[in-house]
């Protein structure tokens, strides 16, 4: 087939299909028919979900609904009983060992609780994935990259030589983020990043997440309980309930569904408080831009 024939075929007639400008990049994450069981207990059953490039997708659901297990499945740490999971077009569930490695360095993960190695400094923690994927890097270069990631994550440069026990809760999260960013990932997984932080620390972490997403062109899979986070920085929200993703959309779109959990969650008193905070924040932003 000539290029011209191919163009006509793809376009189906009228407007010529432009191969040069067409977005042919595979979607970051596509999950279909996912089932995960522990013994007789099914956490997920026939679950579908698609994550779009460049978005921050908030993932919510009651405690124990399988948010962390879903994340672990996507990054290949939990082998599903059924279904397929594609990350950037690579089938994670049926990947060759080499192929799997080819995509593993395209994501970074901040696990629930941070999970820093307590016997390593912050810089050494950041260097763990670097050494794993690029064993040929010199120590000097490793240190330089680690320092850069530490600062990128909003920590003072001195934090690089500190041990996790010497850091506050908020700083530990940032150190975990620095490690998640070590490999310049396109896809970032954050599992309850603001849990345990005070409201100001949480809001600052949210801001940082949004900023990094936009400047580094990340796609973010963000598990959270934090309604403020959902309102402040998530482009869409996926709701886990009844072993599935029962709805995905913007918060206004979700409010139109009449699932009881969604209504209770997004219309409860805590949600109303989050909306008020969010609107107050937006009003202040507008004020600022007026003065500038
Ligand atoms: N390795 C495991 N073995 C057995 N059960 C597990 C395992 N991991 C998670 N579960 C169970 O799966 C369910 C979902 O867990 P999880 O994904 O951690 O929930 P959450 O939505 O709170 O993150 C829970 O009931 C949990 O007890
Ligand atoms: Mg969890």
Q: How high is the pLDDT of residue 96?
A: 59
Helix (H) or strand (E) holding 175: helix 169-180
Instruction: Quote the ligand 2 centre to 67 CA distance (angstroms).
Output: 5
214 or 12, greater pLDDT: 214
Which range, 22-26, 148-152, 193-197, has the best average confidence (pLDDT)?
A: 148-152
Residue range 61-79: average pLDDT?
94
Q: Find out whether the beta carbon of 38 lies less than 6 Å from any atom of ligand 1.
A: yes
Q: How high is the pLDDT of residue 166?
A: 96
Q: Find out whether the beta carbon of 117 lies less than 6 Å from any atom of ligand 1.
A: no
CA of 240, closest atom in ligand 1: 21
Instruction: Quote the ligand 1 centre to 241 CA distance (angstroms).
Output: 14
Give nearest CA residue, ligand 1 atom 27: 64
Within 10 angstroms of residue 23's Cβ, the number of other Cβ atoms is 6
Q: Measured between alpha carbons, how far is 40 from 167 in angstroms, rounded to an integer?
A: 42
Q: Is residue 16 pLDDT above 80, yes or no?
A: no
Q: Burial code of 191-227, b = ≥16 C-beta within 10 A, e = fewer?
A: bbbbbebeeebbbbbbebbbebbeeeebbbbbbbbbb
Q: Across all residues in the chain, what is the average pLDDT? A: 88
285 or 136, greater pLDDT: 136
Which range, 2-6, 173-177, 225-229, has the best average confidence (pLDDT)?
A: 173-177
Q: Find out whether the beta carbon of 61 lies less than 6 Å from any atom of ligand 1.
A: yes
- Kindly list the protein residues that place their beta carbon closer than 5 angstroms to ligand 2, a single-atom ion: 67-68
Q: Find out whether the beta carbon of 164 lies less than 6 Å from any atom of ligand 1.
A: no
Q: Which of 69, 195, 238 to mutate to test the pocket of ligand 1 (most atoms within 8 A of CB)?
A: 69
Q: How high is the pLDDT of residue 100?
A: 56
Q: How high is the pLDDT of residue 9?
A: 45
Q: Is residue 5 pLDDT above 50, yes or no?
A: no
Residue range 18-27: average pLDDT?
74
Q: Which of 63, 66, 72, 110 to mutate to test the pocket of ligand 1 (most atoms within 8 A of CB)?
A: 66
Collapsing DSSP states into helix, strand and coil, what is residue 168? Answer: coil
Query: 265, 258, 257, 259: which is closest to 231 by C-alpha?
Result: 265
CA angle 145, 160, 174 (to 5 degrees): 90
Residue range 155-165: average pLDDT?
97
Q: Is residue 3 pLDDT above 70, yes or no?
A: no
- What's the pLDDT tens digit per position in 88-137? 988 888 765 555 557 888 999 999 887 899 999 999 999 999 999 999 99
Phi-psi region of 134 (alpha: psi -120 to 50; beta: other; left: phi over 0): beta
- What's the pLDDT tens digit per position in 247-272? 999 999 999 998 999 999 988 888 87
CA of 39, closest atom in ligand 1: 4
Collapsing DSSP states into helix, strand and coil, what is residue 11? Answer: helix
Instruction: Quote the ligand 1 centre to 149 CA distance (angstroms).
Output: 31
Q: Find out whether the beta carbon of 65 lies less than 6 Å from any atom of ligand 1.
A: yes
């Amino acid at each position: 087939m000539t290029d011209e024939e191919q163009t006509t075929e793809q376009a189906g007639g009228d407007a010529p299909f432009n191969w040069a400008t067409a977005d042919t990049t595979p979607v970051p994450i596509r999950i279909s028919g996912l089932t995960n069981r522990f013994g007789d207990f099914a956490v997920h059953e026939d679950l579908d979900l698609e994550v779009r490039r460049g978005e921050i997708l908030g993932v919510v659901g009651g405690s124990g609904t399988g948010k962390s297990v879903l994340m672990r499945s996507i990054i290949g740490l939990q082998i599903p009983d059924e279904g397929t999971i594609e990350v950037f077009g690579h089938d994670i569930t049926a990947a060759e060992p080499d192929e799997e490695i080819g995509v593993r360095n395209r994501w970074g993960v901040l696990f629930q609780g941070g999970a820093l190695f307590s016997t390593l400094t912050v810089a050494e923690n950041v260097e763990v994935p670097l050494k794993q994927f690029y064993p040929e890097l010199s120590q000097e270069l490793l240190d330089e990259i680690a320092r850069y990631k530490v600062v990128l994550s909003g920590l003072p440069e001195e934090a690089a030589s500190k041990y996790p026990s010497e850091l506050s809760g908020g700083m530990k999260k940032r150190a975990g983020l620095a490690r998640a960013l070590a490999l310049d990932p396109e896809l970032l997984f954050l599992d309850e990043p603001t849990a345990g932080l005070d409201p100001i620390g949480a809001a600052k972490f949210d801001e940082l997440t949004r900023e990094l997403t936009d400047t580094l062109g990340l796609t973010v899979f963000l598990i959270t309980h934090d309604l403020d986070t959902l309102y402040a920085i998530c482009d869409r929200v996926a709701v886990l309930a009844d072993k599935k993703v029962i709805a995905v959309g913007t918060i206004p779109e979700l409010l139109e569904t009449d699932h009881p959990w969604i209504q209770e969650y997004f219309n409860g008193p805590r949600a109303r408080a989050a909306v008020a905070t969010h609107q107050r924040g937006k009003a202040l932003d507008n004020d600022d831009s007026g003065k500038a």
